[in-house]
Amino acid sequence: MKERIIFGYDPFVIPFTLGVIFIMLYLGTGTVRILLTLTRKEALNLLNSIFSVKIFKTFKDILFDVLLHVKIFKRNILLGYMHASIAFGWFMLIFIGHIEVILYTPQRNGVIYYPVFFRYFVMETSQTLRGAFFFFLMDLFLLIVLSGIALAIYKRFRSVRLGMKRTTRLKTGDKIALWSLWMIFPLRLIAESFTADISGGSFLTSTINTLMGSLVESTVYMDTLWWAYSCALAIFLFALPFSRYMHIPTEILLIFLRNAGIKSSSSRDGFAESEIYSCSSCGICIDACPMSVVDKKSNYTSVYLLRKLRRRKEDSLFVAEQCLMCGKCVELCPVEIDSCRLKLLKKRENFPDQIFDYNYLSKKHPEFKSGINRPDREKVLYYAGCMTHLTPQIYTSLFNIMDKAQIDYSFMDRDGSICCGRPLILSGGERAAKELIKANSELILRANAGILLLSCPICFKVFKENYSLNGIKVMHHSQYINLLIKEGKIKLKKGDFSVVYHDPCDLGRGSDVYSEPREVISSAAVLKESSNLPAESICCGGSLASRRFSQSERESVTLHSLEKLNINNPEKLITACPLCLRSFSKFNKRETLDIAQLAEQQMI
């Protein structure tokens, strides 16, 4: 293989070269800007993670997430193939292009446009056996990319086929980038086919070359096509920063930052910025989000919030306040964008801290008689919280179970309580919640118990994450009942009725408690599957987090969730959260019980 054009230059490379220079500068400044916002400690962490074995994980993540899109594959094979074929295929085209340059025209190594337009500049010689291998590879990857593009075009018009009910609405920047991206590879195919008889080709390009017959002899056509190819690339590169495809380069940076353990601390800091730009607008979060069952609310799903944050729109707060904070979009996001955290930060930045007065906390401690002063800290301290106070059947059953198991316990908030603080945190009042957390911590530590037992997953999460309780074990009652069964303190008999279990958002996704409730239920009844995976359970609609959901909108969420839960026709629905119990029992035609009630009923 040898050079066909003496200077290795032709004017058609100019648009592309400008595009590359533009995007390099843009990405360079962007990266530097983000890196500059890092604190000293974060910067050190980043360096540490680069110059250690952690870098292998980073490379692996980049390969799996950015190029192969493994997570999307898991959702839907076709959709995964679409993303992977374009990303990985394109990457391989560029990569092999560079290898070809290094092997055959080493003198052009480092010329930006050369690997991309290699086929234009070279001609076949008599010994092209080694080249033939690359010809084949290049054609193969081009075919793969083209198949991906074909799917993408198909998806735009028939998204349901790729497992998506809704797909994102496009902005102008997105549209330009999208159309140029669709154009790039077909143009490349035809351009390379035109030169295939000179520079060599394989099953695709050579075949098309032969099919085109005498047409290929026209240099006018040939030049026009290479120009068009270069222009399509240039348009894409120039449109890139203004389109969702920015996610491709940004995600690499995000992976570096994430693996260095960096987290966002404001809704627009460096890390947040890298998250915001990493969103590929894949739209997976739209279908995932329970808000989408209320038609107009699908506009408030995470992808649109990120878009608003990106454009610094004022109403991003309003959008953040819609979210039920169920965490499902975070669980499913292929880029692992923690959009819930961004929403919290957004709310926190706008929280009216001054208007609250917590003086009463020190004046009026709720009284509870703590019989607990045994040194061995065997005792259990139970905190119902406001939600369980509204569903007394839960603690009544739990107490009956504990009585039977002869457990020593006290009821911390029988006569009223200080709030656990999570509702405040969810509405952005992190600092205000500290007051409540302090007052509660004092009370709890004074009781000198070994276990703090909770029925409400909302409390459970905050006691686990935001309190430091000096080694007191924080347990949800589903875990505790399981423990009592394991220790042989209570025995359940397995009923012959079937049940389905709803994973409360804050217990499952929020606190990673999936197996204990299932173990308890399996020893009390026949457990049926719902139509969702445990980690994809749908919010019951009762969430405290949203300030913007009307009662009837909540009802639609509840009904949707119920429909999925009851898909296998269970006789009863079991949940482990007072809020879920309230939401579901309103509408469920079947019996709805808390796990404590079920355990009490089946106790022997």
Taking phi over 0 as left and psi of -120 to 50 as alpha, with beta for the rest, 153 belongs to: alpha
Tell me which of 335, 405, 418, 599 binds ligand SF4, using CB under 6 A: 335
337 binds ligand SF4 (CB under 6 A): yes
Query: Long-range contacts made by residues 292-301, C-beta under 8 angstroms, separation at least 24?
Result: 292/166, 293/556, 293/557, 293/560, 294/553, 294/556, 294/557, 297/322, 297/553, 298/166, 300/548, 301/329
396 binds other proteins (CB under 8 A): yes
- 3-state SS assignment for residue 286: helix
453 binds, among other proteins, ligand SF4, none (CB under 5 to 8 A by kind): none
Instruction: Identify the helix (H) or strand (E) that includes residue 591.
Output: strand 591-594
Tell me which of 62, 582, 590, 601 binds other proteins, using CB under 8 A: 582
336 binds other proteins (CB under 8 A): no
The 202-241 contact track toward other proteins, x by CB under 8 A, reads ----------------------------------------
The dihedral over CA atoms of 434, 440, 444, 446, expressed in degrees to the nearest 10, equals 100
14 binds other proteins (CB under 8 A): no
What is the DSSP secondary structure assignment for residue 452, as one 8-state letter? E
Instruction: Identify the helix (H) or strand (E) that includes residue 473.
Output: strand 473-476
Can you tell me which residue has the tokens 């690339």? Answer: 233
Looking at residue 539, its amino acid is: C
30 binds, among other proteins, ligand SF4, none (CB under 5 to 8 A by kind): none
| Smallest distance from other proteins to CB 285, Å | 29
289 binds ligand SF4 (CB under 6 A): yes
457, 479 Cβ separation under 8 angstroms: no
Transcribe 491-505 into DSSP letters.
-B---SSEEEE---T
586 binds other proteins (CB under 8 A): yes
Q: Measured in whole angstroms, how far is the alpha carbon of residue 399 from the centre of its chain?
A: 39
Looking at residue 287, its amino acid is: D
3 binds other proteins (CB under 8 A): no
109, 115 Cβ separation under 8 angstroms: no
49 binds, among ligand SF4, other proteins, none (CB under 5 to 8 A by kind): none
396 binds, among other proteins, ligand SF4, none (CB under 5 to 8 A by kind): other proteins
- Identify residues 523-562 at the interface with other proteins (CB under 8 A): 551, 555
Q: How far apart are CA 290 and CA 555, in angstroms?
A: 11
392 binds other proteins (CB under 8 A): yes
Binding residues with ligand SF4: total (CB under 6 A): 28
Which range binds ligand SF4 by CB under 6 A, 63-71, 298-306, 349-357, 580-588?
298-306
| Smallest distance from other proteins to CB 586, Å | 6
CB-nearer residue toward ligand SF4: 167 or 202: 167
Tell me which of 202, 250, 280, 391 binds other proteins, using CB under 8 A: 391
Which range binds other proteins by CB under 8 A, 16-24, 388-396, 460-468, 521-529?
388-396
What is the DSSP secondary structure assignment for residue 603, as one 8-state letter? B
Residues lying near other proteins in the complex (CB under 8 A):
389-393, 396, 414-416, 551, 555, 581-582, 585-586
**Interaction site with ligand SF4 (CB under 6 A):** 279-285, 288-291, 301-303, 306, 323-329, 333-335, 337, 339-340
